[in-house]
């Protein structure tokens, strides 16, 4: 027979999977009546916590791992460390050269029992790291994408796209462009949401190009160039502003610029870049808390964080 899941319990109890997790984990957020009903149904279905996630409970390393192949997202790391510290858990950070080194790091950590679980940032579609972690039975939390039976912190790209597009429409723009960044799942989902929102609000999809300054040149050279560009990468947006004279454009009168992420680089150029600001530290803390919960209960959870807020600056 198929092993019962928290989804089965949630359907039988008429509550969300998050409520089931809270009830079985003894966490606040559900009534005692709900907690008792969920426990009875879980017992009746023969549900048991995932033993892979609980296997180290008696010999816990007290360490969570994070591997980064590239620049470390320090604000996210800060949020992760702050949340882990509440439970006395340490963060082990490894910055590696490539995907092969990252995979080897996971194998070494798990074989040596150096970590109890890992956090995986910005997975790609068909990411090789996900089946590897499943094969190793490493408890993990994905940040920026979901996968079946794995904990994850997700964002709401549709809400953010709507805020950005509505702002540009208010500024008189009707022809938008999208400069795409790395092919991580977060960017892929955002691109799809952006297409849907622009089609709904403007009756047409935005034009797209991938890259940075060259992508900007490509879009501006089209017969009907966009009057506003939205960038996945805030550094690419700032680069466009910095090279406006070379591109022979005036910002914002000839071209408006918006970045999906908001970092210090958005304020280092003039005019400052209008951006969607995310609380990266809070997202890191959410991911850490999900992993700590998973290690205690063996129950995977998915949590959607609040949409970022639009910070309007001189580029729009």
The answer on 139 and 37 residing in a single domain is no
Residue 31, pLDDT > 90, answer: no
Same domain, 301 and 256: no
Answer for the pair 109, 92: CB distance below 8 angstroms, yes or no: yes
**Whether residue 71 is found in the same domain as residue 219:** no
Co-location of 149 and 292 in the same domain: yes
Instruction: Give residue-wise pLDDT tens across range 269-293.
Output: 999 999 999 999 999 999 999 999 9
Residue 161 has pLDDT above 80, yes or no: yes
The bridge status of strand 256-259 relative to strand 207-210 is: unpaired
With 90 as the cut, is the pLDDT of residue 227 above it? yes
**SS3 at position 230:** strand
Q: Please give the Cα distance from 293 to 252 (Å, whole number).
A: 47
Res 2: pLDDT:
61
Task: Please give the structure tokens belonging to residue 47.
Answer: 């549900």
Residues 67 and 144 in one domain: yes
Six-digit token string for 26: 């003894």
Over 50: is that where the pLDDT of 56 sits? no
Identify whether residues 246 and 209 lie together within a single domain.
yes
Where is average pLDDT lowest: 56-65, 166-175, 189-198, 254-263?
56-65
Domain identity same for 259 and 285: no
Q: Is the pLDDT of residue 26 over 70?
A: no
Q: Are the CB atoms for 153 and 144 separated by under 8 Å?
A: yes
**Is residue 27 very low, low, confident or very high in pLDDT (cuts 50, 70, 90)?**
low
Q: Are residues 139 and 167 in the same domain?
A: no
Q: What is the mean pLDDT of residues 240-262?
A: 95
Of residues 3, 6, 2, the one with CA closest to residue 300: 6
- Same domain flag for 161 and 150: no
Model pLDDT, residue 29: 72
When pLDDT is averaged across residues 67-76 and rounded to a whole number, the result is 88
Q: Would you state the structure tokens that stand for residue 126, as one six-digit string?
A: 């068909």
pLDDT at 183: 87
Q: Which residue has the higher pLDDT, 116 or 6?
A: 116
Is pLDDT at 21 greater than 50 in this prediction? Answer: yes
Find out whether 247 and 217 touch, Cβ atoms under 8 Å. yes
- Two tokens at 184? 């991580």
Q: Mean pLDDT over residues 193-220, rounded?
A: 92
Tell me the backbone φ, ψ of residue 174, rounded to 5 degrees. -130, -10
Burial (CB < 10 A; 0-12, 13-18, 19+), residue 12, is middle
215 and 188: one domain? yes
Total structural domains within the chain: 3
Which CATH number is 161's domain given? Answer: 3.40.50.2300
pLDDT at residue 53 is higher than 70: no
- Measured distance CA(64)–CA(59) in Å, rounded: 14
Is 104 domain-assigned?
Answer: yes
> Same structural domain for residues 206 and 131?
no
Banded model confidence at residue 42, pLDDT cuts 50, 70, 90: confident
**Residues whose CB is less than 8 angstroms from the CB of residue 65 and which lie 6 or more positions away in sequence, other chains included:** 91, 92, 93, 94, 105, 106, 109, 114, 115, 117, 118, 119
DSSP annotation of 222 reads S
The boundaries of the domain holding residue 11 are 6-45
């Amino acid at each position: 027979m198929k092993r019962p899941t928290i989804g089965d319990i949630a359907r039988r109890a008429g509550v969300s999977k998050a409520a089931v997790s809270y009830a079985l984990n003894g966490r606040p957020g559900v009534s005692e009546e709900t907690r008792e009903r969920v426990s009875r149904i879980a017992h009746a279905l023969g549900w048991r916590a995932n033993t892979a996630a609980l296997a180290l409970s008696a010999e816990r390393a007290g360490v969570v791992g994070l591997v980064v192949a590239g620049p470390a997202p320090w604000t996210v790391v800060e949020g992760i460390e702050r949340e882990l510290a509440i439970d006395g858990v340490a963060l082990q950070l490894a910055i590696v050269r490539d995907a092969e080194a990252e995979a080897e790091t996971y194998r070494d950590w798990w074989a040596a029992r150096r970590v109890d679980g890992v956090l995986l940032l910005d997975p790609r579609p068909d990411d090789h790291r996900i089946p590897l972690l499943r094969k190793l039975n490493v408890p993990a939390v994905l940040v920026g994408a979901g996968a079946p039976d794995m904990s994850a912190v997700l964002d709401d790209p549709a809400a953010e796209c709507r805020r950005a597009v509505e702002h540009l429409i208010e500024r008189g723009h009707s022809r938008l462009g999208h400069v795409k960044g790395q092919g991580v799942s977060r960017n892929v989902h955002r691109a799809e949401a952006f297409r849907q929102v622009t089609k709904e609000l403007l009756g047409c999809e935005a034009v797209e190009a991938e890259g940075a300054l060259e992508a900007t040149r490509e879009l501006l050279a089209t017969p009907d160039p966009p009057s506003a560009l939205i960038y996945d990468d805030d550094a690419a947006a700032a680069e466009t502003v910095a090279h406006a004279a070379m591109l022979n454009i005036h910002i914002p009168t000839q071209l408006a610029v918006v970045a999906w992420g908001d970092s210090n680089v958005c304020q280092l150029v003039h005019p400052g870049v209008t951006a969607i600001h995310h609380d990266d530290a809070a997202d890191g803390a959410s991911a850490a808390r999900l992993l700590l919960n998973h290690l205690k209960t063996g129950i995977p959870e998915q949590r959607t964080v609040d949409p970022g807020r639009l910070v309007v600056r001189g580029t729009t």
